[in-house]
Amino acid sequence: MESKISKIGSMKTTIDIPEDLLKDLMRRTSAATKRDAVITAIREYNQRRRMSELTSILGTFSDFMDRAELDGARGGQ
Helices (H), 1-77: 19-29, 34-55, 67-73
How far is the C-alpha of 47 from the C-alpha of 30, rounded, in Å?
A: 19
Spatial contact of 74 and 67, defined as CB atoms under 8 Å apart: no
The pTM score is 0.62
3-state secondary structure of 5: strand
Checking if the pLDDT of 12 tops 50, the result is: yes
| Structure confidence at residue 64 (pLDDT) | 76
Checking if the pLDDT of 34 tops 60, the result is: yes
- Give residue limits of the domains in the chain: 19-57
Mean pLDDT (the chain, rounded): 85
Banded pLDDT at 10 (limits 50, 70, 90): confident
Residue 18 or 75, more confident: 18
